């Protein structure tokens, strides 16, 4: 009898882990789910583009010129007779790559910076966060334009420049998380066990702060992609022969009067991706919000 | 309050100095001098030009001299347009950009604020979902896409509004203002909704209702003041964004403003123009951030008392 009761209690107390919980909540949010699947689809397409693109990236057909959507060219062709769908697929590879890579740069700098500031505390924290405050006040858009002018329009530099801008909020979020986690018993226990600060940060602090980091990462990717598209639109970002959605939109805007499909389809690709990421980010925020759950 | 303003001003000074220093040296290490493109310039001419732009001095002296100029409000001559100073170019572009930014902000606050307040009155009803979905669309459609689309629909297909220019034809300011303002309208709608939702649960709102005030008075007189604090705090960062957005909008609509000058200067490698505009815009942004912080603090009695008033 006693064992039965114990099993009962164990079952009742089993509950769900944070991640199972979050997944259950996310599953109920239809918009976030649609966002997630659309995003996954875009990523898969981007990865497989060299094999599944209907035409080759360089293929031109000057005789055909710009033609509206048809059975051969689902999204039409541009003035050089290049297939728009193919262009969008290759452009998406670049746009998504910039989004994910630059966000990773921001993630690494921001999390490390915030974790150190929050963990060490005291004067180090004050100096580190004061620097973040100062950088916050800088007009970064102007600086990125400046960097692109000074160092040339280099895609690697673009990653670095955008990543270097976007880490600030990440650092603030991480610091807040670490500060509150640092007071908890399991961290004190880890300290008294003699673990090194870097181990404590890696093994105990970062995993426990993962929720807000994931949410914020999801919301950083669209703003990074927007930044890249913005620069490319101005002619200061991705350069031909490479292409990106921002560049395609910029070309499309030039000839939209005659060939509106050249503007509309790349625009839709970018907007749909931004939508997916924003809805997914909002959904994850609700799903992973530790404060608002479990009560 | 004055102490707060003074403290923030003191914090702004190192930021502005850092901007000047970083920009100055970045521009100086940029490859290719302003005259390297010109073929076969006479050595005397080159020397004279270099002297005019102080390129003959050591870098540190150039820097000190530039700081001295700036202190007198002098941004120096333009590389690209000999005979024109950066001051003149800024003087020509700033009023246009300021007007554009003002209209855009007006669009953003009026549309965004109204939508946010309306949505907050009945959370989780269609009255909430519809404006908030529209706001999400506004955030996701970037200005460089929205601008051409608006031109295509209202300028070309419907032929209601001019497609470019600024102050030449009546109505040519409408599309640029909407293009620039829409994303901020969307952010402001979200912020004011969240702000109002929080404020409307406060005790003083209950008191106002208990006094028998009509609901619209409760919302407008008592709710708005607290509910708009996040919006006011957002105006500082929004200002920086509006300036950056003016790069695109002024390019799309061919508006002779500061943003277009900046992009052109970037293409032309007009280094003094880039340097001058960067310093000028950065200072403006830092000051505007300060203003928006002070305003937000002044609107929040709890913060105000913290600074002894």
Q: What is the pLDDT of residues A224-256, one digit of tens each?
A: 888 888 888 888 788 878 888 888 888 888 888
- Contact status of A95 with chain B (Cβ, < 8 Å): no
Torsion angle of C-alpha atoms A24, A27, A29, A35, degrees rounded to 10? 140
Buried b (16+ CB within 10 A) or exposed e, B78-116: bbbeeeebbbebbeebbebbebbbebbbebbbebbbebb
CA distance B286 to B289: 5
B contacts of A260 (beta carbons < 8 Å) = 152
With beta carbons under 8 A apart, name residues in chain A contacting B244: 139, 141-142, 230
Q: Following DSSP, what letter does each residue of B66-90 receive, concatenated?
A: HHHHHHTT---B-SSSTT-BHHHHH
- End-to-end C-alpha distance for chain B, whole angstroms: 7
B-chain residues within 8 Å CB-CB of A38?
A: none
pLDDT at A43: 92
Of B11, B140, B243, the CB nearest to A139: B243
Q: Tell which wins on pLDDT, A146 or B186.
A: B186
Chain-chain contact of B142 with A152 (C-beta, under 8 angstroms): no
CATH topology classification for A39-292: MetI-like fold (1.10.3720)
A145: contact with B, CB 8 A cutoff: yes
A31 CB neighbour count, 10 Å cutoff: 16
Q: Does residue B241 belong to the interface with chain A, where contact is any CB pair within 8 Å?
A: yes
Token representation of residue B262: 């900046």
* Closest of A138, A234, A139, A146 to residue B274, by C-alpha: A146
Number of DSSP helices (H) and strands (E) in chain A, helices first:
13, 0
C-beta atoms of A146 and B266 within 8 A:
yes
Q: Which residues of A touch B152 (CB under 8 A)?
A: 256-257, 260, 263
Residues 210-269 on A with a CB inside 8 Å of B are 222, 226, 229-230, 233-236, 246, 249-250, 252-253, 256-257, 260, 263-264, 267
Mutate to test the interface with B, among A137, A145, A231, A234 (most CBs of B within 10 A): A137
Secondary structure of B160-181 in the HEC alphabet? CCCCCCCCCCCCCCHHHHHHHH
Report pLDDT digits (tens) over B30-77: 665 555 555 566 777 777 767 766 776 777 788 888 888 888 777 777
What are the boundaries of each domain within chain A? Answer: 39-292
Task: Tokens for B65, please give them.
Answer: 């001299």
The pLDDT of residue A289 is 63
> Is residue A148 within 8 angstroms of chain B, CB to CB?
yes
Specify which of A25-34, A37-46, A157-166, B3-12 reaches the highest per-range mean pLDDT. Answer: A37-46
Give the closest-approach CA distance of B4 to chain A in angstroms: 16
| pLDDT digit string, tens, across residues A92-103 | 998 898 888 889
pLDDT at A259 over 50: yes
CB A149 within 8 Å of CB B30: yes
């Amino acid at each position: 009898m006693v064992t039965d009761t114990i099993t009962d209690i164990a079952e009742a107390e089993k509950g769900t882990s944070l991640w199972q919980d979050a997944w259950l909540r996310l599953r109920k949010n239809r918009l976030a789910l649609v966002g997630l699947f659309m995003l996954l689809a875009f990523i898969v397409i981007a990865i497989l583009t060299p094999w599944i693109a209907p035409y080759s990236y360089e293929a031109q057909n000057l005789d055909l010129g710009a033609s509206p959507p048809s059975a051969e060219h689902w999204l039409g062709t541009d003035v050089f007779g290049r297939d728009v769908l193919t262009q969008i697929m290759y452009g998406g590879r670049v746009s998504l790559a910039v989004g994910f890579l630059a966000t990773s740069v921001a993630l690494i700098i921001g999390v490390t910076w915030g974790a150190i500031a929050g963990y060490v505390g005291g004067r180090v924290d004050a100096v580190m966060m004061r620097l973040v405050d100062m950088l916050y006040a800088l007009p970064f858009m102007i600086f990125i334009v400046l960097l692109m002018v000074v160092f040339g329009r280099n895609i690697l530099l673009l990653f670095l420049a955008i990543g270097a801008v976007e880490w600030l909020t990440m650092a603030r979020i991480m610091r807040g998380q670490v500060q509150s986690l640092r007071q908890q018993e399991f961290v004190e226990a880890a300290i008294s066990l003699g673990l090194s600060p870097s181990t404590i940060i890696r093994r105990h602090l970062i995993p426990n702060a993962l929720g807000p980091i994931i949410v914020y990462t999801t919301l950083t990717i669209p703003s990074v992609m927007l930044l890249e598209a913005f620069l490319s639109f101005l002619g200061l970002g991705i350069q031909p022969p490479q292409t990106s959605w921002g560049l395609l939109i910029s070309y499309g805007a030039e000839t939209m009067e005659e060939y509106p499909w050249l503007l509309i389809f790349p625009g839709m690709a970018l907007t749909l991706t931004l939508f997916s990421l924003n809805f997914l980010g909002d959904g994850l925020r609700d799903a992973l919000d530790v404060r608002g759950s479990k009560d | 309050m004055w102490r707060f303003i003074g403290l923030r001003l003191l914090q702004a000074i190192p930021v502005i100095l850092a901007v000047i220093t970083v920009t100055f040296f970045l521009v100086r290490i940029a490859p290719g001098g302003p005259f390297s493109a010109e073929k076969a310039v006479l050595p005397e001419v080159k020397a004279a030009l270099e002297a005019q732009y102080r390129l003959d001095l050591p870098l540190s002296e150039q820097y000190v001299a530039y700081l001295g100029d700036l202190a007198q409000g002098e941004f120096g001559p333009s590389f690209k347009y000999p005979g024109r100073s950066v001051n003149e170019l800024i003087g020509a572009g700033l009023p246009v950009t300021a007007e554009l930014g003002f209209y855009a902000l007006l669009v953003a606050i009026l549309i965004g604020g109204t939508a946010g307040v309306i949505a907050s009155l009945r959370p989780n009803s269609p009255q909430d979902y519809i404006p908030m979905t529209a706001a999400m669309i506004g955030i996701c459609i970037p200005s460089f896409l929205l601008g051409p689309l608006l031109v295509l629909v209202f300028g070309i297909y419907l032929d209601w509004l001019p497609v470019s220019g600024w102050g030449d034809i009546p109505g040519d300011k409408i599309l640029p203002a909407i293009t620039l303002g829409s994303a901020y309208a969307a952010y402001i709608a979200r912020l004011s909704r969240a702000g109002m939702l929080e404020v409307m649960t406060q005790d003083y709102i209950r008191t106002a209702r208990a006094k028998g005030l009509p609901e619209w008075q409760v919302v407008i007189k008592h709710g708005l003041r607290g509910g708009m604090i996040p919006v006011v705090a957002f105006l500082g960062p929004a200002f920086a964004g509006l300036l950056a957005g003016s790069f695109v909008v002024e390019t799309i609509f061919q508006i002779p403003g500061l943003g277009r000058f900046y992009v052109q200067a970037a293409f032309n490698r007009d280094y003094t123009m880039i340097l001058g505009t960067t310093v000028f815009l950065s200072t403006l942004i830092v000051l505007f951030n300060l203003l928006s912080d002070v305003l937000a603090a002044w609107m929040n009695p709890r913060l105000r008392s913290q600074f002894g008033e």
